[in-house]
Amino acid sequence: MLTRKQLALLDFIREYMAKEGIGPSFDEMRDALDLKSKSGVHRLVSGLEERGYLRRLPHRARAMEICKLPEAMERAEFKPRVIAGGKPEQPRTARPVDTGGAIEVAVMGRIAAGTPIEAISTLSHHVSVPGSMLSVNGQHYALEVKGDSMIELGINDGDIVVIREQITAENGDIVVALVEDQEATLKRFRRRNGMIALEAANPAYETRVLRDDQVKVQGRLVGLIRSY
């Protein structure tokens, strides 16, 4: 199963080759997917190659071949999946954010719960958070969730997660992880045999296993806010 970024890249390559007769450059792929660096493109292309969807031809610049397409794309009906349904059930422990001594916390952009997105650290706005959600010691910030990789833990696209700043994590913690100083993602943290595993809570997403020096913990999830 391909990630959304891999699907988007494969679709871009298909359209580009149909129009230009040659594969796009890494710079063009980076710009098309709004990635910060070409290293992200390399990872996506390598993922497509490993899954048999794409093959790069040796010794030829910008030469690549699409080996197969997902069934939906082959029918030219590929569309982002939309799950229809009513308003989600409100958790029993939920409470209005304007009670319990609300404190203003800065929302510092978006965090990916899915394929990692470019790390964002620009103040967006502020949100009111119950004081009991915050630790007495430590700094906190909030992020808007983008994606559905943590949906089985009740973290949905569009939710606001409250994060306590810290650079360490225990196995099982849900953390903001900065991958190779470029991409930020919200995942469950586990240390395995000297490596770090970033686990999703959605079977559609694979666990990423990285070297210790490739991952920097930016904070731990301490609360979640949802609008109904």
Q: Which of 153, 157, 176 is nearest to 166 (CA)?
A: 176
Give catalytic residues, as residue numbers: 149, 187
How far, in Å, CA of 85 to CA of 68, rounded?
Answer: 33
What are φ and ψ of residue 155, in 5° steps? -105, 110
Contact yes or no for 150/113 (Cβ under 8 A): yes
Instruction: State how far Cα 69 lies from the chain centre.
Output: 23
Token code pair at residue 50: 């490993």
Q: Which of 4, 1, 8 is nearest to 52 (CA)?
A: 1
Contact yes or no for 182/118 (Cβ under 8 A): yes
Which residues touch 92 (CB under 8 Å, ≥6 apart)?
none
How far, in Å, CA of 106 to CA of 55, rounded?
Answer: 44
Which residues touch 90 (CB under 8 Å, ≥6 apart)?
228
